């Protein structure tokens, strides 16, 4: 009796197992078929999509890339322009008084003024708040520029000697220096001043050493001094 029941139970398990196995096979087959059908439907949908829409998508991508390139170029150009402007603003040019007389550099342009401290032009004073103030004239021979400087002048600062001042030229023609550099040496001449003397004809290096600094403001152009005198008219 017990064995008969066990055999029936085993048969039931076997039958159920066969049924579940067959059912699993059918489910896997249906799943594969469904996946293939879905993939086929997607491919058919892509094939049925209008060609114009694909072209529009590609064109919009090209436009985006073009705009990115244009914006990058504009940004690079702006950065370059700003860098050049800052670099130009930081440049400090050297000008002699004759250069300033020929062309005003502008009230906001900082530059170096070089030449000779004109003899008898130095005046020392004090500002209302007690700071030392010096006024003098810088000349290169044909022209002279008045200079004012608030502060202590260098120990080597002398009249009749070369000087280089850093500052700005005001609309009133007064050069307001923020820094003054001087060197006390009778044979010393700033290279820029020497070039100014050459340009104005006050010094010819082929004819010897430059003239004494104390005589720069009384010099006449070498061409004028070397010009032959006109013959006197008869009867004069």
Question: 181-207, pLDDT tens digit by residue?
Answer: 876 555 556 666 667 667 666 667 777
* pTM of this prediction exceeds 0.85: no
Residue 58 lies in a domain: no
Range of the domain at 169: 93-220
Q: What percent of the chain has pLDDT over 90?
A: 16
Contact 213, 116 (CB under 8 A): yes
Q: What is the pLDDT of residue 221?
A: 46
Q: What is the pLDDT of residue 42?
A: 59
Q: What is the pLDDT of residue 229?
A: 45
Confidence of residue 27 (pLDDT cuts 50, 70, 90): very low
| Nearest CA-CA partner of 156 in 196, 109, 188, 194 | 188
Taking the C-alpha atoms of residue 114 and residue 86, their distance in angstroms, rounded to an integer, is 25
How many independent structural domains does the chain possess? 1
Judged against a pLDDT cut of 70, whether residue 105 lies above it is answered with yes
In whole numbers, what is the pLDDT of the chain averaged over residues?
70
Residue 183 lies in a domain: yes
Strands (E), the chain: 93-95, 110-117, 123-126, 132-139, 144-150, 162-169, 175-182
**Residue, of 213 and 136, whose pLDDT is higher:** 136
Taking the C-alpha atoms of residue 50 and residue 40, their distance in angstroms, rounded to an integer, is 18
The answer to the question of whether 184 is labelled as a binding residue is yes
The answer to the question of whether 188 is labelled as a binding residue is yes
Q: What is the CATH number of the domain that holds 115?
A: 2.40.50.140
Residue 76 lies in a domain: no
């Amino acid at each position: 009796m017990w064995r008969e029941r066990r055999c029936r139970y085993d048969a039931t398990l076997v039958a159920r197992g066969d049924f579940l196995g067959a059912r699993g096979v059918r489910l896997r087959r249906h799943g594969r078929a469904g996946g293939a059908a879905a993939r086929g439907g997607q491919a058919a949908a892509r094939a049925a999509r209008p060609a114009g829409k694909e072209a529009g998508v590609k064109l919009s991508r090209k436009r985006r890339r073009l705009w990115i390139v244009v914006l990058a170029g504009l940004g690079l150009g702006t950065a370059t322009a700003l860098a050049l402007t800052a670099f130009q603003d930081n440049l400090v040019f050297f000008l002699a008084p004759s250069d300033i007389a020929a062309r005003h550099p502008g009230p906001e342009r900082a530059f170096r003024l070089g030449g000779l401290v004109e003899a008898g032009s130095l005046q020392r004073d004090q500002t209302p708040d007690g700071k030392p103030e010096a006024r003098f004239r810088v000349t290169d021979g044909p022209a002279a520029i008045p200079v004012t400087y608030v502060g202590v002048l260098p120990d080597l600062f002398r009249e009749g000697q070369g000087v280089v001042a850093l500052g700005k030229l005001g609309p009133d023609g007064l050069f307001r220096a923020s820094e003054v550099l001087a060197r006390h040496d009778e044979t010393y001449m700033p290279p820029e001043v020497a070039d100014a003397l050459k340009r104005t004809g006050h010094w010819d290096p082929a004819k010897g050493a430059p003239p004494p600094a104390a005589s720069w403001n009384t010099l006449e152009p070498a061409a004028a001094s070397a010009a032959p005198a006109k013959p006197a008219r008869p009867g004069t």
